[in-house]
């Protein structure tokens, strides 16, 4: 499956980014080239409000002047705690244009986590979305000089409205603004991003303008984006993946980004925006597949058609990859399924997706193969907050599911003796804020320890096998990497979430959150969640799915027992990080009774 790319235009953009001394300059060069083209859009009063590159630049200039009027100067830190919106991007660019550093805070965090971040980074100015975020900041007990509120209705005593700061800057101006940002170099700190982590205190990774620019250069070299592309921003801008690979990539590449209204409105927004590219985490693709599967298995006949369509889509990928051939009958079936199934998948994503990029966690290979066969190629990549973030990404001309592709052109990767992935290059952080001991442990002779374990295949593609710290050691001495097994379990028809347990035990077990709606449909009974967890038919069904999902894993990796958890794990309830990774310690703590029951 070939994706057309204008190589000359791509080279021009890469050169432009390489010549830029800072992110503002790279953005300004795009403004000069694309001034009237739509850069960003968001819903306002039920309609899409579009901002051209020139309009966006002027808003950044005004807000920067407003911030300077409040005393924000070079070297300071300004925090943003909000969901995605145009104001987030305006504030981000304005902060950095003053030589200050943006500190993103996930908008769902509570007062205790907010307190740690604000105290650690020393932010004196905080930009919040609305009342919930305002309460978290005030509840943290950290005194800040200025609190700026994006939602007009939430502003009150002791706060400033975002529009008020912007208007003040428009009136008062900052005469030396352009000269100031032009003087910023690549070594200037652009942002401090606190890694969500799965346990312990968050660590602030320091990223410079040069870190992010170098990552953008390499991404543009290998990913076939163009200034004609339209994206839908789904992931939070507080996450480095969305910020670099969506916000900054569009601002320097000349593409257009529409900001999704909310998770619940993504499906409708996809139909309205009809994006050409989509950036998402694997969980998004799993949910899309889950919706398709639910529609395609409504009765036994449709279920057989759907399962055959999934197998045929995967055969198409394997045929294109040169691993098998499709006979005349299979090709005819593929064309039939393209009409019956695959076209509906493409239409569900808006109808004009050229490709998708997946990052943040492991994409199950069969899922990538299915989307490829359905005409939606997905390139899985790999990276960390500390690497700005992309380290490696699959190339569309040589997709290999189950790997994250070769390293970027300007990133070096090698494996330690124990298989840990070590990284070196211009996109790697200079270190963590205020953590000298952590920095000493993280770097060795210039190589950054990722904490991930991997291997290279014969084509030089990197394959992630697991997080080093997540590997379980059974009392038999055998190691178990939980993530691949958990992903396989969570992609079955009746299991929504999965976490393996068994550290120091004789065998592996699993805590599972069922897909309650799917179970009710299959059983034909409207039982409450608690009852389903103890229903023998439901447990037998899930037991058979565990066996099927784990058949390709080694015997000692198979969960021998399981318990069903009667509620979904969420970020709000403390079991998931903001990037939807499992907080293993929290889940273990809350379900200790179930674990004890398993090993009694």
C-beta separation of 500 from 480 below 8 A = yes
- For the domain that residue 562 is a member of, what is the CATH number? 3.30.300.30
* Per-residue tokens: 310: 């999934």
User: Percent of the chain beyond pLDDT 70?
Assistant: 97
Looking at the domain assignment, is residue 552 inside a domain? yes
Looking at the domain assignment, is residue 112 inside a domain? yes
Confidence of residue 557 (pLDDT cuts 50, 70, 90): confident
User: Residue 199 pLDDT more than 60?
Assistant: no
What is the value of pTM for the model shown?
0.84
* Mean pLDDT to the nearest integer, 497-517: 92
pLDDT tens digit string along 400-411? 999 999 999 999
User: Residue 108 pLDDT more than 70?
Assistant: yes
Domain that holds residue 548: 471-599
* Mean pLDDT to the nearest integer, 561-585: 87
Looking at the domain assignment, is residue 341 inside a domain? no
* Mean pLDDT to the nearest integer, 186-200: 80
Distances (CA, A) of 248 to 93, 495, 568: 10, 36, 33
User: Residue 201 pLDDT more than 80?
Assistant: no
Q: What's the confidence (pLDDT) of residue 476?
A: 65
- For the domain that residue 67 is a member of, what is the CATH number? 3.40.50.12780
Q: What's the confidence (pLDDT) of residue 144?
A: 96
Give the separation between CA 518 and CA 497, rounded to whole angstroms.
13
DSSP 527-564: --HHHHHH-HHHHHHHHHHHHHHTTTS-GGGS-SEEEE
Q: How many domains does the chain have?
A: 2
Looking at the domain assignment, is residue 2 inside a domain? no
From 220, 255, 280, give the residue that closes a domain. 280
Looking at the domain assignment, is residue 140 inside a domain? yes
Looking at the domain assignment, is residue 494 inside a domain? yes
Looking at the domain assignment, is residue 529 inside a domain? yes
274: left (phi over 0), alpha (psi -120 to 50) or beta: left
pLDDT tens digit string along 81-98? 999 999 999 999 999 999
From 226, 258, 280, give the residue that closes a domain. 280
From 240, 257, 280, give the residue that closes a domain. 280
Confidence of residue 256 (pLDDT cuts 50, 70, 90): very high
15-19, 114-118, 310-314, 500-504: which range is least confident on average?
500-504
Looking at the domain assignment, is residue 371 inside a domain? no
Query: Please, what is the Cα angle at 430 between 424 and 431, to 5 degrees?
Result: 110
User: Residue 578 pLDDT more than 80?
Assistant: no
| DSSP H helical ranges for 243-299 | 249-253, 266-273, 282-296
């Amino acid at each position: 499956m070939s994706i057309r790319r204008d190589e000359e235009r791509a080279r021009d953009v890469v050169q432009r980014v390489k010549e830029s001394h800072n992110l503002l300059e790279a953005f300004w060069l795009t403004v000069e080239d694309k001034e009237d083209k739509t850069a960003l859009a968001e819903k306002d009063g039920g309609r899409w409000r579009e901002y051209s590159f020139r309009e966006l630049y002027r808003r950044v200039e005004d807000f920067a002047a407003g911030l300077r009027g409040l005393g924000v100067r070079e070297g300071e830190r300004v925090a943003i705690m909000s969901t995605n919106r145009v104001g987030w991007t305006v504030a981000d660019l304005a902060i950095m244009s003053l030589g200050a550093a943006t500190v993103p805070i996930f908008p769902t965090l509570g007062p205790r986590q907010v307190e740690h971040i604000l105290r650690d980074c020393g932010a004196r100015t905080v930009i919040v979305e609305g009342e919930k975020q305002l309460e978290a900041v005030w509840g943290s007990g950290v005194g800040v000089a200025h609190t700026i509120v994006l939602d007009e209705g939430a502003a009150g005593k002791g706060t400033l409205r975002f529009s008020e700061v912007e208007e003040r800057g428009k009136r008062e101006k900052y005469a030396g603004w352009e000269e100031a940002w032009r003087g910023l170099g690549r070594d200037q700190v652009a942002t401090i991003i606190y890694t969500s982590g799965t346990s312990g205190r968050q660590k602030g990774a320091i990223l410079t303008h040069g870190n992010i620019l170098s990552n953008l250069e390499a991404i543009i070299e290998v990913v076939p984006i163009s200034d004609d592309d339209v994206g839908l921003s789904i992931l939070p801008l507080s996450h480095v993946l969305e910020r670099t690979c969506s916000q900054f990539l569009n601002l320097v590449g000349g593409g257009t980004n529409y900001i999704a209204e909310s998770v619940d409105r993504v499906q409708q927004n996809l139909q309205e925006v009809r994006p050409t590219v989509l950036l998402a985490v694997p969980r998004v693709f799993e949910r899309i597949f889950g919706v398709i599967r639910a529609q395609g298995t409504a009765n036994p006949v449709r279920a057989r058609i759907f399962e055959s369509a999934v197998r045929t889509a995967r055969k198409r990928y394997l045929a294109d990859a040169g691993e098998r051939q499709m006979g005349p009958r299979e090709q005819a079936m593929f064309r039939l399924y393209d009409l019956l199934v695959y076209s509906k998948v493409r239409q569900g994503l808006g109808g004009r997706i050229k490709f998708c990029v997946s990052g943040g966690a492991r994409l199950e290979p069969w899922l990538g193969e299915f989307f490829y066969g359905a005409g939606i190629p997905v390139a899985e990549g790999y990276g960390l907050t500390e690497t700005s973030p992309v380290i490696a990404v699959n190339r569309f001309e040589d997709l290999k599911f189950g790997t994250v592709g070769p390293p970027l052109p300007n990133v070096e990767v090698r494996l330690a003796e124990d298989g840990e992935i070590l990284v070196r290059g211009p996109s790697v952080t200079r270190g963590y804020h205020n953590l000298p001991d952590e920095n000493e442990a993280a770097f060795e002779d210039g190589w950054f320890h990722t904490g991930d374990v991997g291997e290279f295949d014969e084509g030089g593609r990197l394959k992630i096998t697991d997080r080093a710290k997540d590997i379980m050691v059974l009392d038999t001495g055998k190691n178990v990497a939980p993530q691949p097994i958990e992903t396989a379990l969570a992609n079955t028809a009746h299991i929504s979430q999965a976490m393996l347990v068994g550290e120091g035990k004789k065998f592996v077990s699993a805590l599972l959150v069922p897909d309650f709606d799917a179970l009710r449909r299959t059983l034909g009974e409207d039982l409450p969640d608690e009852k389903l967890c103890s229903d023998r038919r439901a447990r037998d069904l899930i037991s058979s799915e565990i066996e099927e999902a784990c058949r390709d894993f080694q015997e000692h990796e198979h969960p021998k027992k399981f318990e069903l958890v009667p509620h979904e794990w969420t970020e709000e309830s403390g079991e998931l990080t903001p990037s939807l990774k499992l907080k293993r310690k929290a889940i273990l703590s809350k379900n200790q009774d179930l674990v004890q029951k398993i090993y009694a």
